[in-house]
Amino acid sequence: MKASLLLVCSVLFCFTVVPGVVQAQNADPLSFLPLASDSLNDLNDTIPDNTLLLDISDARAEFFVIGRPFEFNSPDSGIERMQDYDPAFRGFADRQTLGNIGQASQPLIFGPRGSVGLDMAEEPYKPYQSQADSLAYFRVNMPYTRIRYLLGAGVQQRLRFTHSQNLMPNLNLGLDYTRTVSEGQSLQQKAGLHDLGVSGWYRSRDHRYAATLSYLFFSALAQENGGAAIDSVFDFTPRSAAPIVLADAFSRQRRHSINLGNHLFGGRMTLSEPDDSTSLQRVEPSWRAWHRLSWISDRREFTDALPDQDNYPPFLFFSDSLQVSYGLQRLENELGWGSSGLVRADSSLRTFQYKATLMHRVDALQQTIERNTVQDLIGGAVLSLVPQSDSLRRWSLIGRGEGSISLSGEFDASVRAGFATPEQRLTLGIGAMRLKPSEQQNLFFSQAWFWDQDLAAEYRVVPEFRYRHRAARLDLALKYHRVQRMIYWDESSVPRNAGAGTDVLQLLLQQNFRLGNWHLDNAIALQRSTAEWINLPLYMGRHSFYYEDSFFEGALFARFGFDMRFQSRYTADAWNPVTASFYVQNQITPDTYPVVDLFFNAIIDQARIFVKVYNINQGYPEAGYYQTPNYPMMNRGFVFGIDWRFWY
């Protein structure tokens, strides 16, 4: 019966879409929508960037994300956290890394890994990889170019080039390319990444039809050194002379995707006046419908030409070489219907927003010796009660419910409700999900390792409390995670189901203080679990103390001060390059200490610059620190970056 239903769906859905639709920022500064201003909703990968707009006179550049051709936003032009140049350290909390930019990492904020629908494997390079649903589609009134470049110790280099040009008023082409390369400070630690996004969009003159097309390419080549072979690595000068575990091992990933979208907008179409001379008129439709098609190819590989049996678990081992390869080809087809996503200028006190989607997905998976095809049907829905900021009463009711479910038996649903004023927001919520193991967790084959498991799906229930006070610059979330049959990588680096329930209590807090031009910004995470299969630091904190002001009669706007990052000591997960995953270990407690970085960020005309000295207190109190066992973090170093944009 399932096979027949899937066959009918694949005939009906002859086109497909990019996974997911990003909700654009709502006009309400206390928006209940999931991205944009809600900084605690995407803790690991998103921070607010728009802090100060440049005076660009008559030049204009705006962008939208897939599925929202009427919701234009300005490119970030501020200096908020510009010094955090490594994407792995740009989130609410730092990710656990291997000590070099461009290397693998994992989030340290406890939460679900994966989503409804089949997952092939872990995503250790996710911070460096553009996603189809967040690719910027630009609208410009003259050709727009932006160049960002940084250079730091350890031959750290990162170049990003963005260009957009309107071929016609309603037809635009854009390109966004990032090259990241770093030799690292240890031997056999080089990482090289390519991240390319090419986009184009067309909109009809009556604003009722829009088409989007994009191509994304990501490539990663990372040397794997297995960590330091001795404890006193920080005593070596140069550090590259310190012995390492793996001498000739590499991880590779290549990912391509093509995404085509067709969007219809209907109902009453109104125009809102621009806010200032640099904004264009915004069209406000009543409803939208879309159809999107996407094709994805993802190939990954690990090789070790000189394997040492002591470095790998003794499952099945051949001493000549070690190689693992696996890949995914995916075809997705999505239909959707929903409200425009805008809070209309003439709307009443409360505005209902809704969205419904239906996606057919076909996955072809290839491991070293096996190939299989999996199909799935995924439905999703969102319903929100969104009040306008300037219409909020003393306390106005707000709420949001969303969920997705698949034919394969997975689901993810959540409900939040509460009250808001123009300054405050208080909500209670609960989420529930059932997620199956990834394909790699069930089946894995290499010359060294093999397993064919039938792991059970895990269940999660997550009640939460959130409070925000805009004037006090306070954002707080309290969560309790209850997980049954949690899937984790055990101390042998093999996936397992936990034999008992797992409980994690979590407090996430952002509190920023200001006195004149002096600022103290704080982000704190407290997490507690007694389960031996979860490694979490009890405390993680990022504290920034800085002064900001305009200088030289307004020609220079600058921010300078220092950041302090600290996480409490704990038995951090170890890294296995063979499976490209972090796994539980409970023997080693890596050294750590409060790390202090000095920074200077500035805006000069249409350029932004930053200078940073990181780990400046190395040697006081420790010679160095670790995030991952045996992988030393960077020695004290210097990095410089520039961000320049221009029109012509």
Pair type for strands 144-152 and 637-647: antiparallel
| Per-residue pLDDT band at 343 (split at 50, 70, 90) | very low
Spatial distance between the Cα atoms of 206 and 185, rounded to a whole number of angstroms: 57
Q: Which two tokens stand for residue 187?
A: 């031997």
| Per-residue pLDDT band at 4 (split at 50, 70, 90) | very low
**pLDDT at residue 65 in the model:** 80
**Percent of residues, the chain, with pLDDT higher than 90:** 58
Backbone angles phi, psi at 310, to 5 degrees: -70, -15
Q: Which two tokens stand for residue 480?
A: 């309790």
Spatial distance between the Cα atoms of 308 and 297, rounded to a whole number of angstroms: 32
Q: C-alpha angle 108/111/116, rounded to 5°?
A: 135
**pLDDT at residue 281 in the model:** 53
Which residue type sits at 645? Answer: R
pLDDT per residue as tens digits for the range 164-184:
998 887 889 999 999 999 999
**pLDDT at residue 20 in the model:** 27
pLDDT per residue as tens digits for the range 507-520:
999 999 999 999 99
SS3 labels along 431-451: EEEEECCCHHHHEEECCCCEE
| Per-residue pLDDT band at 339 (split at 50, 70, 90) | confident
**Cβ pair 464, 429 in contact under 8 A:** yes
**pLDDT at residue 610 in the model:** 95
**Host H or E run for residue 5:** helix 2-12
pLDDT for residue 160 is more than 80 = yes
Q: Which two tokens stand for residue 4?
A: 């027949």
Of 634, 622, 553, 627, which Cα lies nearest the Cα of 590?
627
**pLDDT at residue 296 in the model:** 97
| Higher-pLDDT residue of 113, 36 | 113
**pLDDT at residue 353 in the model:** 84
| Higher-pLDDT residue of 76, 480 | 480
CA dihedral (189, 440, 298, 132) positive or negative: negative
Spatial distance between the Cα atoms of 41 and 630, rounded to a whole number of angstroms: 32
* Mean of pLDDT over the chain: 84
Least confident of 218-227, 230-239, 384-393: 384-393
**pLDDT at residue 565 in the model:** 95
**Percent of residues, the chain, with pLDDT higher than 70:** 83
Return the top range by mean pLDDT from 109-118, 267-276, 290-299, 341-350: 290-299
Return the top range by mean pLDDT from 4-8, 192-196, 602-606: 192-196
Using only C-alpha atoms, the chain has a radius of gyration, in whole angstroms, of: 25
Mean per-residue pLDDT, 296-310:
88
pLDDT per residue as tens digits for the range 476-510:
999 999 999 999 999 999 999 998 999 999 999 99
| Per-residue pLDDT band at 319 (split at 50, 70, 90) | low
pLDDT per residue as tens digits for the range 551-604:
888 889 999 999 999 999 999 999 999 999 999 999 999 999 999 999 999 998
pLDDT per residue as tens digits for the range 133-146:
888 888 888 899 99
Convert 415-445 to b/e letters by CB count within 10 Å (16 or more is b). Answer: ebebbbbbebbbbebebbbbbbbbbbbebbb
Mean per-residue pLDDT, 13-25:
29
Mean per-residue pLDDT, 454-463:
96
Spatial distance between the Cα atoms of 301 and 20, rounded to a whole number of angstroms: 27
| Per-residue pLDDT band at 239 (split at 50, 70, 90) | confident
Residue with tokens 């012995």: 243
**pLDDT at residue 35 in the model:** 25
Spatial distance between the Cα atoms of 41 and 417, rounded to a whole number of angstroms: 15
9 CB contacts (<8 Å, ≥6 apart)? 360, 377
| Higher-pLDDT residue of 72, 339 | 339
CA dihedral (221, 93, 521, 606) positive or negative: positive
Q: C-alpha angle 272/275/278, rounded to 5°?
A: 115
169 CB contacts (<8 Å, ≥6 apart)? none
pTM, two decimals, is: 0.86
Spatial distance between the Cα atoms of 595 and 592, rounded to a whole number of angstroms: 8
**pLDDT at residue 437 in the model:** 94
**pLDDT at residue 154 in the model:** 80
Alpha helices by DSSP H, 96-234 = none
Of 159, 125, 156, which Cα lies nearest the Cα of 252?
125
Q: Which two tokens stand for residue 634?
A: 């960077």
554 CB contacts (<8 Å, ≥6 apart)? none
